[in-house]
Chains A and B, each alone.
Chain A
Amino acid sequence: EVQVLESGGGLIQPGGSLRLSCAASGFTFSSYTIHWVRQAPGRGLEWVSAISGGGDITFYADSVKGRFTISRDNSKNTLSLQLNSLRAEDTALYYCAKEASPGGIDSWGQGTLVTVSS
Protein backbone atom coordinates (compact mmCIF):
# COMPACT_ATOMS: atom_id res chain seq x y z
CA GLU A 1 0.00 0.00 0.00
CA VAL A 2 1.30 3.42 -0.96
CA GLN A 3 1.79 5.71 2.03
CA VAL A 4 2.96 9.29 2.20
CA LEU A 5 3.47 11.05 5.53
CA GLU A 6 4.35 14.69 5.98
CA SER A 7 5.88 16.30 9.06
CA GLY A 8 7.60 19.47 10.15
CA GLY A 9 4.81 22.02 10.09
CA GLY A 10 4.24 24.53 12.84
CA LEU A 11 3.87 28.17 13.85
CA ILE A 12 6.62 30.41 12.52
CA GLN A 13 7.12 34.18 12.48
CA PRO A 14 7.21 36.11 9.20
CA GLY A 15 10.68 35.99 7.70
CA GLY A 16 11.44 32.71 9.41
CA SER A 17 12.37 29.30 8.02
CA LEU A 18 10.93 25.82 8.28
CA ARG A 19 11.80 22.43 6.83
CA LEU A 20 9.02 20.06 5.85
CA SER A 21 9.66 16.36 5.43
CA CYS A 22 7.83 13.61 3.60
CA ALA A 23 8.35 9.89 4.14
CA ALA A 24 7.06 7.51 1.50
CA SER A 25 6.58 3.76 1.30
CA GLY A 26 4.83 1.12 -0.75
CA PHE A 27 6.28 2.04 -4.14
CA THR A 28 9.63 2.39 -5.92
CA PHE A 29 10.33 5.88 -4.63
CA SER A 30 13.13 6.79 -7.04
CA SER A 31 10.91 6.10 -10.05
CA TYR A 32 8.38 8.83 -9.37
CA THR A 33 8.15 12.57 -9.47
CA ILE A 34 6.92 13.90 -6.13
CA HIS A 35 5.00 17.13 -5.64
CA TRP A 36 4.17 19.58 -2.87
CA VAL A 37 0.70 21.09 -3.09
CA ARG A 38 -0.67 23.51 -0.52
CA GLN A 39 -4.10 24.69 0.54
CA ALA A 40 -4.66 27.85 2.51
CA PRO A 41 -7.50 27.69 5.07
CA GLY A 42 -10.83 27.71 3.26
CA ARG A 43 -9.15 28.11 -0.14
CA GLY A 44 -8.38 25.97 -3.17
CA LEU A 45 -5.41 23.84 -4.09
CA GLU A 46 -2.15 25.50 -5.14
CA TRP A 47 0.68 23.54 -6.72
CA VAL A 48 4.00 24.51 -5.09
CA SER A 49 6.92 22.40 -6.27
CA ALA A 50 8.00 19.12 -7.83
CA ILE A 51 11.15 17.04 -8.10
CA SER A 52 11.98 14.32 -10.60
CA GLY A 53 12.60 10.75 -9.54
CA GLY A 54 16.36 11.13 -9.76
CA GLY A 55 16.28 14.45 -7.95
CA ASP A 56 18.09 16.29 -10.73
CA ILE A 57 15.15 18.33 -12.04
CA THR A 58 13.10 20.66 -9.87
CA PHE A 59 10.17 22.98 -10.51
CA TYR A 60 8.60 25.77 -8.48
CA ALA A 61 5.54 27.99 -8.53
CA ASP A 62 6.38 31.64 -9.15
CA SER A 63 4.99 32.47 -5.70
CA VAL A 64 7.72 30.45 -3.95
CA LYS A 65 10.62 30.54 -6.41
CA GLY A 66 13.80 31.69 -4.72
CA ARG A 67 12.40 31.09 -1.24
CA PHE A 68 11.57 27.36 -1.21
CA THR A 69 13.91 24.47 -2.07
CA ILE A 70 12.81 20.91 -2.77
CA SER A 71 15.14 17.94 -2.38
CA ARG A 72 14.98 14.18 -1.97
CA ASP A 73 17.02 11.30 -0.57
CA ASN A 74 16.21 8.18 -2.54
CA SER A 75 18.29 6.02 -0.22
CA LYS A 76 15.87 6.88 2.60
CA ASN A 77 12.65 7.32 0.58
CA THR A 78 12.30 10.85 1.91
CA LEU A 79 11.56 14.26 0.48
CA SER A 80 12.12 17.71 1.94
CA LEU A 81 10.87 21.21 1.33
CA GLN A 82 12.94 24.02 2.82
CA LEU A 83 10.81 27.13 3.35
CA ASN A 84 12.70 30.41 3.79
CA SER A 85 11.61 34.04 4.07
CA LEU A 86 8.13 32.92 5.04
CA ARG A 87 5.18 35.24 4.58
CA ALA A 88 1.66 35.28 6.00
CA GLU A 89 0.37 34.14 2.61
CA ASP A 90 2.41 30.93 2.93
CA THR A 91 0.06 29.82 5.71
CA ALA A 92 -1.46 26.58 4.45
CA LEU A 93 -1.76 22.84 4.77
CA TYR A 94 1.13 21.39 2.77
CA TYR A 95 0.56 18.08 1.03
CA CYS A 96 3.26 15.75 -0.25
CA ALA A 97 1.97 13.75 -3.19
CA LYS A 98 3.13 11.16 -5.69
CA GLU A 99 2.65 11.63 -9.40
CA ALA A 100 0.87 8.80 -11.24
CA SER A 101 2.58 7.20 -14.22
CA PRO A 102 -0.13 8.23 -16.71
CA GLY A 103 -0.42 11.64 -15.12
CA GLY A 104 -2.20 13.33 -12.31
CA ILE A 105 -1.41 12.88 -8.64
CA ASP A 106 -2.65 9.58 -7.27
CA SER A 107 -1.35 9.40 -3.72
CA TRP A 108 -1.53 12.17 -1.15
CA GLY A 109 -0.49 12.50 2.47
CA GLN A 110 -2.76 14.05 5.07
CA GLY A 111 -0.77 17.28 5.06
CA THR A 112 1.25 19.28 7.54
CA LEU A 113 0.07 22.73 8.64
CA VAL A 114 2.33 25.75 8.34
CA THR A 115 1.14 28.91 10.07
CA VAL A 116 3.09 32.12 9.50
CA SER A 117 2.14 34.70 12.08
CA SER A 118 3.70 37.03 14.61
Chain B
Amino acid sequence: DIQMTQSPSTLSASVGDRVTITCRASHSISSWLAWYQQKPGKAPNLLIYKASSLESGVPSRFSGSGSGTEFTLTISSLQPDDFATYYCQQYNSYPYTFGQGTKVEIK
Protein backbone atom coordinates (compact mmCIF):
# COMPACT_ATOMS: atom_id res chain seq x y z
CA ASP B 1 0.00 0.00 0.00
CA ILE B 2 1.11 3.57 -0.66
CA GLN B 3 1.56 5.63 2.50
CA MET B 4 0.87 9.37 2.39
CA THR B 5 2.61 11.65 4.89
CA GLN B 6 1.60 15.27 5.35
CA SER B 7 3.53 18.01 7.09
CA PRO B 8 3.05 19.88 9.22
CA SER B 9 0.22 18.33 11.24
CA THR B 10 -0.80 21.75 12.51
CA LEU B 11 -0.02 25.16 11.08
CA SER B 12 -0.69 28.51 12.74
CA ALA B 13 -1.02 31.42 10.35
CA SER B 14 -2.56 34.84 9.97
CA VAL B 15 -4.95 36.22 7.39
CA GLY B 16 -2.94 37.24 4.35
CA ASP B 17 -0.13 34.74 4.95
CA ARG B 18 1.19 32.46 2.25
CA VAL B 19 0.73 28.88 3.44
CA THR B 20 2.33 25.70 2.11
CA ILE B 21 1.43 22.13 3.04
CA THR B 22 3.56 19.20 1.94
CA CYS B 23 2.46 15.66 1.11
CA ARG B 24 4.90 12.80 0.47
CA ALA B 25 4.08 9.42 -1.03
CA SER B 26 5.96 6.25 -0.11
CA HIS B 27 6.08 5.29 -3.80
CA SER B 28 5.76 7.28 -6.99
CA ILE B 29 2.16 8.16 -7.80
CA SER B 30 2.89 10.23 -10.91
CA SER B 31 0.39 13.12 -10.66
CA TRP B 32 -2.50 11.10 -9.28
CA LEU B 33 -3.03 13.25 -6.22
CA ALA B 34 -5.99 15.20 -4.88
CA TRP B 35 -6.29 17.81 -2.13
CA TYR B 36 -9.38 18.34 0.04
CA GLN B 37 -10.52 20.93 2.55
CA GLN B 38 -12.68 19.86 5.46
CA LYS B 39 -14.41 22.10 7.98
CA PRO B 40 -15.80 20.85 11.30
CA GLY B 41 -19.03 18.91 10.91
CA LYS B 42 -18.86 19.02 7.11
CA ALA B 43 -17.91 16.60 4.36
CA PRO B 44 -14.58 17.13 2.59
CA ASN B 45 -14.47 19.42 -0.43
CA LEU B 46 -12.28 18.70 -3.47
CA LEU B 47 -9.83 21.53 -4.14
CA ILE B 48 -7.20 20.12 -6.49
CA TYR B 49 -7.02 17.01 -8.67
CA LYS B 50 -4.22 15.55 -10.76
CA ALA B 51 -1.76 17.34 -8.46
CA SER B 52 -2.21 20.80 -9.94
CA SER B 53 -5.65 21.14 -11.56
CA LEU B 54 -8.02 23.47 -9.76
CA GLU B 55 -11.53 22.09 -9.21
CA SER B 56 -14.29 24.24 -10.64
CA GLY B 57 -15.47 26.90 -8.21
CA VAL B 58 -12.37 26.79 -6.02
CA PRO B 59 -10.69 30.18 -5.49
CA SER B 60 -7.51 30.77 -7.46
CA ARG B 61 -5.52 31.45 -4.28
CA PHE B 62 -5.32 27.65 -3.96
CA SER B 63 -2.71 25.90 -6.08
CA GLY B 64 -1.05 22.51 -6.18
CA SER B 65 2.26 21.30 -7.52
CA GLY B 66 4.51 18.27 -7.60
CA SER B 67 4.78 14.84 -9.13
CA GLY B 68 6.24 11.48 -8.25
CA THR B 69 6.51 11.42 -4.48
CA GLU B 70 6.46 15.04 -3.33
CA PHE B 71 3.56 17.44 -3.56
CA THR B 72 2.55 20.80 -2.17
CA LEU B 73 -0.68 22.70 -1.62
CA THR B 74 -0.24 26.46 -1.47
CA ILE B 75 -2.70 29.11 -0.34
CA SER B 76 -1.31 32.36 -1.68
CA SER B 77 -3.09 34.69 0.74
CA LEU B 78 -4.92 33.01 3.60
CA GLN B 79 -8.52 34.13 4.04
CA PRO B 80 -10.77 33.71 7.12
CA ASP B 81 -12.76 31.02 5.30
CA ASP B 82 -9.59 28.94 4.80
CA PHE B 83 -9.09 27.94 8.42
CA ALA B 84 -9.82 24.21 8.14
CA THR B 85 -8.15 20.82 7.86
CA TYR B 86 -6.55 19.80 4.58
CA TYR B 87 -5.97 16.27 3.31
CA CYS B 88 -4.05 14.85 0.39
CA GLN B 89 -5.15 11.58 -1.24
CA GLN B 90 -3.43 9.36 -3.77
CA TYR B 91 -5.48 7.65 -6.45
CA ASN B 92 -2.63 6.04 -8.36
CA SER B 93 -3.53 2.59 -7.07
CA TYR B 94 -5.89 0.83 -4.71
CA PRO B 95 -6.21 0.98 -1.82
CA TYR B 96 -6.55 4.72 -2.14
CA THR B 97 -4.93 6.42 0.84
CA PHE B 98 -5.19 9.78 2.56
CA GLY B 99 -2.60 11.77 4.41
CA GLN B 100 -3.23 12.28 8.12
CA GLY B 101 -4.34 15.87 7.63
CA THR B 102 -3.01 19.37 8.28
CA LYS B 103 -5.02 21.67 10.49
CA VAL B 104 -4.64 25.35 9.62
CA GLU B 105 -5.31 27.44 12.72
CA ILE B 106 -5.56 31.14 13.39
CA LYS B 107 -2.32 32.57 14.78
Contacts and interface: CB of A to CB of B under 8 A. Distances in A.
A109 B42 CA distance: 9
A108 B38 CA distance: 11
A108 B95 contact: no
| Most chain A CB inside 10 Å of its own CB: which residue of B38, B49, B53, B97 | B49
B50 A62 contact: no
A29 interface: no
Interface in B31-70: 32, 34, 36, 38, 43-46, 48-50, 53, 55
Contacts, number: 67
Interface string A56-71: 0001111000000000
> Chain A interface mostly helix, strand, loop or mixed?
strand
A44 interface: yes
B1 A109 contact: no
Contacts of A104: 34, 36, 46, 48-50, 55, 89, 91
Contacts of B44: 37, 45, 95, 105, 108
B25 to A, nearest CB: 14
A61 B43 contact: no
Residue from A35, A50, A103, A106 whose CB has the most chain B CB atoms within 10 Å = A103
A10 B84 CA distance: 28
A-side interface size class: 20 to 34
Contact of B49 (A37, A47, A61, A100): A100
Given A44-B87, A105-B46, A35 B96 contact: yes
Contacts of A60: 95
A62 B91 CA distance: 16
A47 B101 contact: no
A46 interface: yes
Interface of A: 35, 37, 44-47, 50, 59-62, 95, 97, 100, 102-106, 108-111
